[in-house]
Amino acid sequence: MFDKANRVFETPTRYQNFIAGQFVDATGGNVISRESPAHGRLVSHYPASTRADAETAIAAARQSFESGEWAFSYGGDRARVLRTVAGLIRQNAEELALIETLETSKPLDAAHGEVMFSAELWDYAAGAARMLAGDSHNTLGEGMLGLVLREPIGVVGIITPWNFPLLILSERLPFALAAGCSIVVKPSEFTSGTALMLAHYLKEAGLPDGICNIVAGTGDPVGQAILDSDDVDMVAFTGSSRVGRAAIAASAGNIKKLSLELGGKSPSVVFADCDLDAAVDGVIKAGTINMGECCIAGSRLLVDARIADAFQLRLAERLLSLRMGDPLDPSSRIGAIINQAQFDRISALVRDGVRDGARIICGGDPDNHSGLYYPPTVLADVKPGMAVAKEEIFGPVVSVMQFETLDEAISLANDTEYGLAAYVWTNDLSKALSCSRRIRAGRVWVNSALAGFPEMPLGGFKQSGNGRETGRYGVEEYTELKSVHLQVGPQTERWVEGA
């Protein structure tokens, strides 16, 4: 893989937008250049698209939707296209994983796993394209039959963040396509490579021109043009709560539907009766996966006070054996942080935590490492009001708090404006069920961390967003319901007497 990476360093890939079935540069030919955060070498040039480029893509999507070519097509035909894309993702998995590793610095193994899971999502959505159905009501009286039609919502804008580029796109795009929508995708300006590669697979799979358009560029103008447009019926936005709020404001124009997947501050709740080895491992996985740059990162560890000291020690010991280094090296489990700004944010939050009274159990010493590598860090003695207990850090940092009772654990778990995920470690079924039911989060893992299945919906409670992606719920998200009232037999009742 190092050879292949070297070839990319020698000749960085130059990508193009995909609009109305054509591969095109941005108007004016400007590009955004991306360096690998781990290597400091140029790897990609994406189009720095303009507002006009975004508007051209939206117009292409609108026109293709109105034509009905995809929206009214047979689900089986849509399924074939989606399944072919799944196959092409698998065929090109190595190259896709390499590009993701170079652009994000996530370990290559993890990138490969994400690519394969993305293919799984396309396969699942292919099946869903044939299962989508409405309803009928045969109970409305002798003269009336009710049909509930499920129709594609229209033109969908999909705006994605930098942390799981292909995966997050694949949690949305194939589901919107399965529903019959036309789409404009705006990938993150830091990691657009695999979305733009995907465009080639869509073309090869026979997706009609204009149904999916992919436009690279910065949030403003490209994302903003999608949010502002009256020709866009729905936006599926994944990213920060800050931009999520801007999306809500912009949606007021044409009252477009929003599906928002925003930030998180998810708890790992560890009870004294759990399998401690499994819990230590799971807490590390949830806290450090993708360098903690993960919306569902288990960034708060809530641990039973009776085992807190021992658990923290085991955590620190095990974390020290986690190899941090070149993400192309198969033994690395922690790569570099996405960029300097994010690295500085993590450092500042950890420093503030220490100033406020938190104690570093391990890590927290980024100056001892070169480049953008931030070591896995555990902060003990964290109190609920501290910034490290409340704010999304988006780095490999776990803040530890202690509890004494089940109620206290649940109350701490819910003491956040977010509600994306929770991890519960216990061998007591009743505690497991209480936590699963009372913690306000879109996903709960019990004695496991981050197992993922296309069947299961994902999304957030509270300020983590609204709407659900994946599973049958994910396809339905991209549809509208229409009630049709059918008179059976002649209409005998008259509105106007004597008519």
CA dist., res. 366 & res. 246, Å (int) = 33
Count how many residues are written for the chain. 499
Using rule CB under 6 A, residue 220 touches ligand NAD: yes
> Minimum CB separation from ligand NAD for residue 176, in Å?
16
From candidates 55, 103, 114, 261, binder to ligand NAD by CB under 6 A: 261
Shortest reach from residue 396's CB to ligand NAD, in Å: 15
Site string for ligand NAD, 439-478 (x = CB under 6 A): ---------------------x---xx-------------
The least CB distance from residue 188 to ligand NAD, in Å, is: 4
Shortest Å distance, C-beta 292 to ligand NAD: 11
User: In a 10 Å sphere around its CB, with 0-12 CB exposed, 13-18 middle and 19+ buried, how is residue 200 labelled?
Assistant: middle
Q: What is the largest CA-CA distance in the chain?
A: 92
DSSP notation for 45-100: EEE---HHHHHHHHHHHHHHHHHTTTTTS-HHHHHHHHHHHHHHHHHTHHHHHHHH
Residues 393 and 374: beta-carbon distance below 8 Å: no
The single residue among 174, 263, 366, 454 that binds ligand NAD, judged by CB under 6 A, is 263
Catalytic residue among 114, 261, 391, 392: 261
- Residue 232 corresponds to which tokens in the numbers above? 């866009």
Token reading at 52? 């006009």
Q: Site for ligand NAD (CB under 6 A): which residue of 92, 224, 288, 479?
A: 224
- Under rule CB under 6 A, residue 227 binds ligand NAD: yes
**181, 212, 294, 295: which one is catalytic?**
295
Q: Which of 102, 126, 156, 243 touches ligand NAD (CB under 6 A)?
A: 243
Query: Least distance in Å: CB of 164 to ligand NAD?
Result: 6
Cβ 52 vs Cβ 19: under 8 Å = no
Is residue 219 a contact residue for ligand NAD (CB under 6 A)? yes
Per CB under 6 A, contacts with ligand NAD among 143-202 are 159-163, 168, 186, 188-189
Please give the residues from 416 up to 445 whose contact with ligand NAD meets the rule CB under 6 A.
420
Burial 147-165 (b: 16+ CB within 10 A, else e): eeebbbbbbbbbbbbbbbb
392 forms part of the interface with ligand NAD (CB under 6 A): yes
Q: What is the torsion angle, in degrees rounded to the nearest 10, for the CA atoms of residue 85, residue 86, residue 92 and residue 96?
A: 100
| Nearest residue to 317 (alpha-carbon basis) of 374, 277, 355 | 277
CB of 469 to ligand NAD, least distance (A): 8
Contact range with ligand NAD by CB under 6 A, out of 12-20, 259-267, 323-331, 482-490: 259-267
Instruction: Kindly determine how many residues on this chain lie close enough to bind ligand NAD according to the rule CB under 6 A.
Output: 31
Nearest distance from C-beta of residue 370 to ligand NAD, angstroms: 24
In order of 74, 187, 476, the CA distances from 81 in angstroms are 11, 22, 19
Backbone angles phi, psi at 78, to 5 degrees: -65, -40
Q: Which is nearer to ligand NAD, 44 or 238 (CB)?
A: 238
Residue with tokens 């049709």: 484
Q: Which is nearer to ligand NAD, 88 or 159 (CB)?
A: 159
- Catalytic residue at 295? yes
Cβ-based nearer residue to ligand NAD, 185 or 315: 185
Whether 95 is a known active-site residue: answer no
List the one residue out of 313, 320, 264 whose CA is nearest residue 292: 264
| CA end-to-end span of the chain | 81
Residue whose token pair is 């994605």: 160
CB contact at 8 A, 399 and 299: yes
| Count of helix runs (H) and strand runs (E) in the chain | 17, 21
Q: Which two tokens stand for residue 27?
A: 């108007």
Q: Which is nearer to ligand NAD, 189 or 233 (CB)?
A: 189
Where on the chain is the footprint of ligand NAD (CB under 6 A)?
159-163, 168, 186, 188-189, 218-220, 223-224, 227, 238-240, 243, 246, 261-264, 295, 392, 394, 420, 460, 464-465
Query: Which residues are the active-site residues?
Result: 261, 295
